[in-house]
């Protein structure tokens, strides 16, 4: 089919708009990269824009040379993997039953779930509960308090509702149990939404510093976000080893925030391309169907 003149104009305008959107979206991140690679005198003078000025890797060298940094990075990886698996498990167990209209009390349970989107127990009661359960200074104090997101559960529920009930009915006729249907039919068909939810939960755990800040006292268990946060707010003297000289401290003080953002963003950016093909499909189906 031959393209009309109006359609060609539309494609050109659409391409230009998309290029502008991409540039506007990428510029803040590129600016942070440029800032993190610039010398402190240019940073303090506000002379850094698109390209680094006084190129230096001193901030990265100082941070990456610290044993505490790698310990916190290891902790973050562990927290992210464990937290994501737990969150997916609990969210699936809640979302799948709620997707069935035959569930008795479904409306009441769903009402309680939605209620938590607007009201919570508060920081102090939550802290007292975590402390009473003996989860302070443990991995469970980091991954369990925020393990289930109400928004994610609702999106998953909507996705499950879009799966034809005939598949489940046929499996029941063949004698398959409810758990068998979930594991062998529903979950294999739900890969798009599961990948999307895994990304959402993983990003949440990876970037979480406030929970560990409240529930962890042992700095050997700090995640990387909390470790870098402590440096940013003025803990350079304790977080950086005693072998670091004054010039190193001045340099990392100038470019620390940008370098921290880069170091914490790279792992998530490396994972995203592998699940990008599921992202739009999972979110759109989970948000609009039903």
Distance CA 103, CA 107 (A): 9
Percent above pLDDT 90 for the chain? 26
Instruction: Specify the DSSP element, H or E, that contains 225.
Output: helix 224-232
The predicted pLDDT at position 223 comes to: 92
Handedness of CA 238, 76, 86, 107 (dihedral sign): positive
pLDDT > 90? residue 80: yes
**Residue pLDDT, tens place only, 111-125:** 888 888 888 888 888
- 46 or 203, higher pLDDT: 203
* Model confidence band, residue 214 (pLDDT cutoffs 50, 70, 90): very high
Percent above pLDDT 70 for the chain? 87
* Model confidence band, residue 289 (pLDDT cutoffs 50, 70, 90): very low
pLDDT > 80? residue 246: no
pLDDT > 90? residue 143: yes
Distance CA 164, CA 216 (A): 45
Distance CA 289, CA 155 (A): 10
Rounded to the nearest integer, the mean pLDDT of the chain is: 83
**3-state SS assignment for residue 193:** helix
Please check whether residue 54 is in contact with residue 43, taking contact to mean a CB–CB distance below 8 angstroms. Answer: no
pLDDT > 90? residue 132: yes
pTM of the entire predicted model: 0.80
Q: What phi, psi does 256 have (nearest 5°)? A: -65, -45
Q: What phi, psi does 120 have (nearest 5°)? A: -135, 170
pLDDT > 60? residue 93: yes
pLDDT > 90? residue 139: yes
Most confident of 28-32, 78-82, 101-105, 239-243: 78-82
* Model confidence band, residue 281 (pLDDT cutoffs 50, 70, 90): low
pLDDT > 50? residue 162: yes
pLDDT > 60? residue 290: no
Distance CA 262, CA 28 (A): 11
* Model confidence band, residue 59 (pLDDT cutoffs 50, 70, 90): confident
C-alpha 88 chain-centroid distance: 13
- Give the position of tokens 């290029």: 19
* Model confidence band, residue 286 (pLDDT cutoffs 50, 70, 90): very low
- 257 or 236, higher pLDDT: 257
| pLDDT, average across residues 99-110 | 88
Distance CA 136, CA 72 (A): 17
HSE of 118, CA atoms in CB hemisphere, 13 A? 4
């Amino acid at each position: 089919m031959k393209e009309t003149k109006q359609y060609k104009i539309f494609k050109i305008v659409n391409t230009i708009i998309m290029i502008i959107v991409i540039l506007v979206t990428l510029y803040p991140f590129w600016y942070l990269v440029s800032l993190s690679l610039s010398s402190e005198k240019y940073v303090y003078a506000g002379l850094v824009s698109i390209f680094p000025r006084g190129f230096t890797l001193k901030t990265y060298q100082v941070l990456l040379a610290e044993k505490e940094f790698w310990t916190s990075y290891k902790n973050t990886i562990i927290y992210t993997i464990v937290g994501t698996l737990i969150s997916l498990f609990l969210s699936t167990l809640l979302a799948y039953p709620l997707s069935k209209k035959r569930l008795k009390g479904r409306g009441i349970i769903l009402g309680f779930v939605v209620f938590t989107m607007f009201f919570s127990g508060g920081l102090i009661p939550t802290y007292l509960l975590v402390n009473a359960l003996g989860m302070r200074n443990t991995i469970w104090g980091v991954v369990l308090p925020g393990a289930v997101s109400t928004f994610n559960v609702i999106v998953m529920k909507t996705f499950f509702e879009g799966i034809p009930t005939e598949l489940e009915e046929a499996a029941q006729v063949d004698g398959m149990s409810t758990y068998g249907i979930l594991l062998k039919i529903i979950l294999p068909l739900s890969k798009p939404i599961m990948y999307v939810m895994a990304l959402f939960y993983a990003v949440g755990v990876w970037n979480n510093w406030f929970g560990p800040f409240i529930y962890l006292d042992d700095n050997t268990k700090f995640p990387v976000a909390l470790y870098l946060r402590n440096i940013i707010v003025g803990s350079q003297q304790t977080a950086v080893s005693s072998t670091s000289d004054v010039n190193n401290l001045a340099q990392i003080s100038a470019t620390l925030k940008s370098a921290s953002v880069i170091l914490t963003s790279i792992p998530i950016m490396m994972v995203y391309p592998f699940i990008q093909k599921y992202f739009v499909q999972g979110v759109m189906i989970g948000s609009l169907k039903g």
